[in-house]
Structure 1
Amino acid sequence: MIICNIYFSLFLILSLLLFFLSLNFMLMDYCMIIEYVFLSLNSSNFVMSILLDWMSLLFMSFVLFISSMVIFYSKEYMEGDFNLIRFILLVVMFVLSMMLLIISPNLISILLGWDGLGLVSYCLVIYYQNIKSFNAGMLTALSNRVGDVALLISIAWMLNYGSWNYYYYLEFMKEDMAMKFICYLVVLAAFTKSAQIPFSSWLPAAMAAPTPVSALVHSSTLVTAGVYLLIRFNFAFPKELIMISLLISSLTMFMSGLGANFEFDLKKIIALSTLSQLGLMMSILLLGSHKLAFFHLLTHALFKALLFMCAGNVIHSFNNCQDIRYLGCMVMKMPITCTLFNICNFSLCGLPFLSGFYSKDLIVEFMTMNYLNILIYLLFYISIGLTVSYSFRLVYYSLSGDMNFMSMNLMNEKISFMLKGMMGLIFFVIISGSLLNWLMFIPPYFICLPFWLKIMTLLMVFSGMYLGYEIAKFKINYKLKSLSFINFSSFLALMWNMPIISTLGINYYPIMMGEKYLMSFDQGWMEYYGSQNLGNLLSSFSQFLQFMSLNHLKIFFMLMVIWLGVLLLMM
């Protein structure tokens, strides 16, 4: 308990300080690079570089604020856990790794933070130590290793410039072939960390971690690291890379929105919504507005953290049950949690004047202003509709109907650490959109659209509401039980079979070949003609020699008799 209070207070104070410092940097238009020389050997300097500008300071402020609330929330959520101190220290290591990544203008220190996030996330995902969490942890770690390798190769390519401080070279070296290659590798690294297609399967699997970790991972740390890295590299993207990446990120947004509408696990629905928002951030970033992507990253971090915290409270009260079909009429038993949960859901939808509205509406209108093909337009607008659809499906399951859980349950709502931690975030979930909008976009975005395109977002929101209501009602009534529909819905819920492709698709043939090798060679012909047969030969030979040594007198006399017999025959 004491360690929770210490880190909660420390992170909260640091968050406030960094927020006001970022405002100062923003208004004064400051950017500061601090270089600390660790060691100077002959003509080589070992230097640690720190980049402080309004963006890094503001992001650190948000990460620390959300972390402080999550640690405060964990005091009650993880109560009774034998390894509470270890859990809190792991969370603190996770946050510090993210801090290192945020303030680095240098690929080496970025790799330290990047790998720190990967290693600590593995430890947190396998925290409950059962077969499901071990599998999820391995999938998470190995998916992220692809990006780590890409980052290592880009570090090797940065040697062409004589320094690893990429920040100095982005603008004027962007036409250089080496910088293009580095950008390809960085985008690959960012796609693995932010779980874009084809690396999407680890994100829902990482839900095996405790809920406070999910709140931290899915809001402001692990998954946003890839987006943040691309925001830093946004000046140097080659045109051909932009179009391919834009298609992949738009498809990720569409695929996760579809999957969330057919999923029944509460935490997985919220994880898929994170994936959808990551696709949105990546898309707008690749369309050329890194500020808008950063704006949505910050607003999304707040409401997604609170959404997970509300889900954790619900799961706690429902005796660790995560199936949304058991919810119903929650507002009678848990009114505060239900209110906070639905405010976050509406913010995620982009309902007017909540924080999500300011960023999402601006992003979609900015995208509509661009000259793009019809596919990107359709993917964007359908994805908005799907986001609202799965959000209202959750609202329907949580608010309407009768209680579907056991008659004897533990559902109660006292003002506790969990609720206080959640209430610490709700104020910012409501006001952060307009506040950041006023702060970040001092020269306003001028967007001129015809009437129908202007209200297109609102139309998609309302059509998504209706679709979500119909899907929820339809699934409850079980009107259609055909096998083809069940197969189709499971295909969509499994994210187009991506978890199967990422696991069995990669290791099925190697495992099958390994089994054949084991049966045919290791325990087959090689065993017979190799070590086993050699062992048998040596064993029988040593037995023969032992027999000879034990009966040497008999053998000697027998040989003498044979020799005498031969002599007699010769005479």
Structure 2
Amino acid sequence: MLSVCKVYFGLFLFFSISLFSLSMHFMILDLSLIVEVNLLSLNSSSIVMTVLLDWMSLLFMSFVLFISSMVIFYSEEYMSGDLYINRFILLVVMFVLSMMLLIISPNLISILLGWDGLGLVSYCLVIYYQNVKSFNAGMLTALSNRIGDVALLMSIAWMLNYGSWNYVYYLDYMKSDFSMSLITWLVLLAAMTKSAQIPFSSWLPAAMAAPTPVSSLVHSSTLVTAGVYLLIRFNFSFSEYLMFFLLFISSMTMFMSGLGANFEFDLKKIIALSTLSQLGLMMSILALGSYELAFFHLLTHALFKALLFMCAGNIIHNFNNCQDIRYMGGLVKHMPLTCAFLNICNFSLCGLPFLSGFYSKDLVVEVMSMGYLNIYIYVVYYLSIGLTAMYSFRLTYYTMSGEYNFISLNCLSDRGFIMLKGMSGLIFFVVVSGSMLSWTIFPAPYFICLPFAFKMMALIMVLLGMYIGYEVAKFSINYNCKSLNSLTLSSFLAMMWNMPVISTLGINYYPIVSGEIYTKIFDQGWYEYYGSQNLGLKLSFLSKFLQLFSRNHLKVYFIMMLIWLGFLAFYSF
């Protein structure tokens, strides 16, 4: 009997290949289809489901399905000890279907359904291991994303001005209209929460509490890319101020996450922060007006980031769920294939020539260099590239070189054949997808004319970042991390500029303190004395006093008679 993993793996792979072929057909013929499916007609009212099929949505769907098929195949071994593996696979399938709904929707209502589906299922997956850390991470993830959901609901309310929720019809034509401008700003807010831009970045590393196959899916092609994809669809209605704002926020996110990853020791969090850096890169080139380039980098990044997480998962699996990179070392002797995959992905992430990341990342940086912008953006871009190379090489140094630093009784091996097969399915595309997509997406190649120094700047920064990363890692390999908290600057940078603290304690500290003061002064103070409790005591006392009369009526009668006789005697004299 076929397992659930194999069934969904085959199904997703088949649909992925079919959709890829269809997207190539649509691209060559420059086709776009809007399909309206009438779900319900009642009198003169009808509920219509609208589907947008063009080369972009079909290509993105094929990539999502391909990556999720490999992740599901990989999960069969990674989650093999889990009693509820079928539930896990079904949650992943629901997650992918929510993303599908979001991709093909030209309608804000159906986008909200997909968007909320992603939020809800991601919460279920983050709390999958059901411990305190997972619950906290899940709540932070869910509540951060609720802000974006509310922004989408508000944009749906404003779309009522146009008589239809199909935003694709109004983007360009109504660009200067106040309502459309407001809707675009609300959509930007929604995208910033989902794609974890500053100040909503803290949930992204926290979501690493989910199982590694989920992290692989979330950080490559589903949850975090939903915001970028939505902004790619809305790019035609961007105003100048919105683009400047988005450029500033995304460049800060890119720089902050690159800096933070160099101080992190958790393997999955380093890769999560690298995702955040790449999301900042996509958002910033989108803000510069090149939506096709942002989409191109989105696709190439999805492939190598999925494989990077799968390699990390294989290492964590072999390390008995230890994620600290300081315990690793010399893995290249024990796990050569996984390390080869990890290195190729790292090089692709850095943008080394002729790997998939190079084609998109180098193009993005050169388009930015050719544009007319200030020195701040130029410096932040190149510093972020250097930092990417720096943390990637630091990670490689800690995991690959030196001696093995974990327990002497180990079972390190590259014998997880199902996991390795799942990873091998992606490695070919990690190498060739950049060139393949650049030839298909851009029919006429970009011609970028820059001075030699500017042209070589990206490569220089990558090599410089690698060298500095190597030196810093070598210097701090014996560094005691306990003193990290005493170093104010280091802890500030490692904590993502204190954003997790601000997002949690910063929001709930004052309401909790106010509640405590309210309790002391009112509920357990004067209100308690003059209010309900004292009133209750007084009424209780009076009722008991009256009960005394009703229970002892004969005694009371005689006492009252004696008192009455006493009164008569007193007044008669």
- Settle same-fold status: TM greater than 0.5: yes
Paired with 2:469 and 2:530, the residues of 1 have a C-alpha distance of 66
- Look up the equivalent residue of 1:296 and give its one-letter code: H
Q: 4+ runs of 1 displaced by more than 6 Å?
A: 479-485
Kept in 1: contact 2:64–2:222 (CA 8 A): yes
What's the secondary structure of 2:492's corresponding residue? helix
For 2:288, the equivalent position in structure 1 comes to: 287
For 1:377, the equivalent position in structure 2 comes to: 378
- Look up the equivalent residue of 2:377 and give its one-letter code: I
Deviation per CA, 1:495-536, whole angstroms, max 9, x where unpaired? 000000111111111111011112221222222222211221
Structural mapping, 1:236-385, within 5 Å: 236-385=237-386
For 2:187, the equivalent position in structure 1 comes to: 186
- Look up the equivalent residue of 2:261 and give its one-letter code: A
For 1:519, the equivalent position in structure 2 comes to: 520
Q: Is 1:219 aligned to 2:234, yes or no? A: no
Structural mapping, 1:79-478, within 5 Å: 79-478=80-479
TM value normalised by structure 2: 0.98
Kept in 1: contact 2:258–2:391 (CA 8 A): yes
For 1:532, the equivalent position in structure 2 comes to: 533
Deviation per CA, 1:421-457, whole angstroms, max 9, x where unpaired? 1111111111111111111111110100000000000
Kept in 1: contact 2:355–2:431 (CA 8 A): yes
For 1:567, the equivalent position in structure 2 comes to: 568
**How large is the Cα RMSD of the aligned pairs?**
1.4
Paired with 1:559 and 1:480, the residues of 2 have a C-alpha distance of 86
Task: State the Cα distance separating 1:481 from its structure 2 match.
Answer: 9.3
Task: State the Cα distance separating 1:420 from its structure 2 match.
Answer: 1.0
What's the secondary structure of 1:455's corresponding residue? helix
For 2:49, the equivalent position in structure 1 comes to: 48
Paired with 2:514 and 2:356, the residues of 1 have a C-alpha distance of 53
What's the secondary structure of 1:80's corresponding residue? coil
Kept in 2: contact 1:107–1:166 (CA 8 A): yes
Task: State the Cα distance separating 1:539 from its structure 2 match.
Answer: 2.1
Q: Which moved more, 1:43-52 or 1:294-303?
A: 43-52
Structural mapping, 1:14-53, within 5 Å: 14-53=15-54
Kept in 2: contact 1:319–1:410 (CA 8 A): no
What's the secondary structure of 1:46's corresponding residue? strand
Task: State the Cα distance separating 1:42 from its structure 2 match.
Answer: 4.3
What's the secondary structure of 1:393's corresponding residue? helix
Task: State the Cα distance separating 1:472 from its structure 2 match.
Answer: 0.8
- Look up the equivalent residue of 2:408 and give its one-letter code: S
Paired with 1:480 and 1:508, the residues of 2 have a C-alpha distance of 28
TM value normalised by structure 1: 0.98
CA gap of 1:107–1:340, structure 2 versus 1, over 3 A, is same
Paired with 1:118 and 1:480, the residues of 2 have a C-alpha distance of 35
CA gap of 1:32–1:4, structure 2 versus 1, over 3 A, is same
What's the secondary structure of 1:49's corresponding residue? strand
- Look up the equivalent residue of 1:456 and give its one-letter code: M
Deviation per CA, 1:531-571, whole angstroms, max 9, x where unpaired? 21122122222221222222221111111112222223314
Gaps of 5+ in 2: none
Kept in 1: contact 2:484–2:491 (CA 8 A): no
Paired with 2:314 and 2:530, the residues of 1 have a C-alpha distance of 63
What's the secondary structure of 2:477's corresponding residue? helix
Kept in 1: contact 2:74–2:213 (CA 8 A): yes
Kept in 1: contact 2:220–2:301 (CA 8 A): yes
Task: State the Cα distance separating 1:85 from its structure 2 match.
Answer: 1.3
- Look up the equivalent residue of 1:293 and give its one-letter code: A
Task: State the Cα distance separating 1:54 from its structure 2 match.
Answer: 0.5
CA gap of 1:266–1:175, structure 2 versus 1, over 3 A, is same
Gaps of 5+ in 1: none
Paired with 1:202 and 1:305, the residues of 2 have a C-alpha distance of 19
Q: Which moved more, 1:228-237 or 1:470-479?
A: 470-479
Task: State the Cα distance separating 1:138 from its structure 2 match.
Answer: 0.8
Deviation per CA, 1:206-238, whole angstroms, max 9, x where unpaired? 001111110000000000000000110111100
Task: State the Cα distance separating 1:118 from its structure 2 match.
Answer: 0.6
Alignment: residue pair count: 571
- Look up the equivalent residue of 2:154 and give its one-letter code: I
Kept in 2: contact 1:347–1:356 (CA 8 A): yes
Task: State the Cα distance separating 1:40 from its structure 2 match.
Answer: 3.0
What's the secondary structure of 1:59's corresponding residue? helix
Task: State the Cα distance separating 1:405 from its structure 2 match.
Answer: 0.4
Task: State the Cα distance separating 1:415 from its structure 2 match.
Answer: 4.4
- Look up the equivalent residue of 2:62 and give its one-letter code: S
Paired with 2:486 and 2:134, the residues of 1 have a C-alpha distance of 30
Q: Is 1:62 aligned to 2:58, yes or no? A: no
Deviation per CA, 1:180-211, whole angstroms, max 9, x where unpaired? 11111111111110000000000001001111
Task: State the Cα distance separating 1:402 from its structure 2 match.
Answer: 0.6
Paired with 2:132 and 2:568, the residues of 1 have a C-alpha distance of 80
Paired with 1:412 and 1:299, the residues of 2 have a C-alpha distance of 29
- Look up the equivalent residue of 1:90 and give its one-letter code: L
- Look up the equivalent residue of 1:196 and give its one-letter code: Q
What's the secondary structure of 1:375's corresponding residue? helix
For 1:556, the equivalent position in structure 2 comes to: 557
Paired with 2:535 and 2:127, the residues of 1 have a C-alpha distance of 44
Paired with 2:323 and 2:475, the residues of 1 have a C-alpha distance of 20
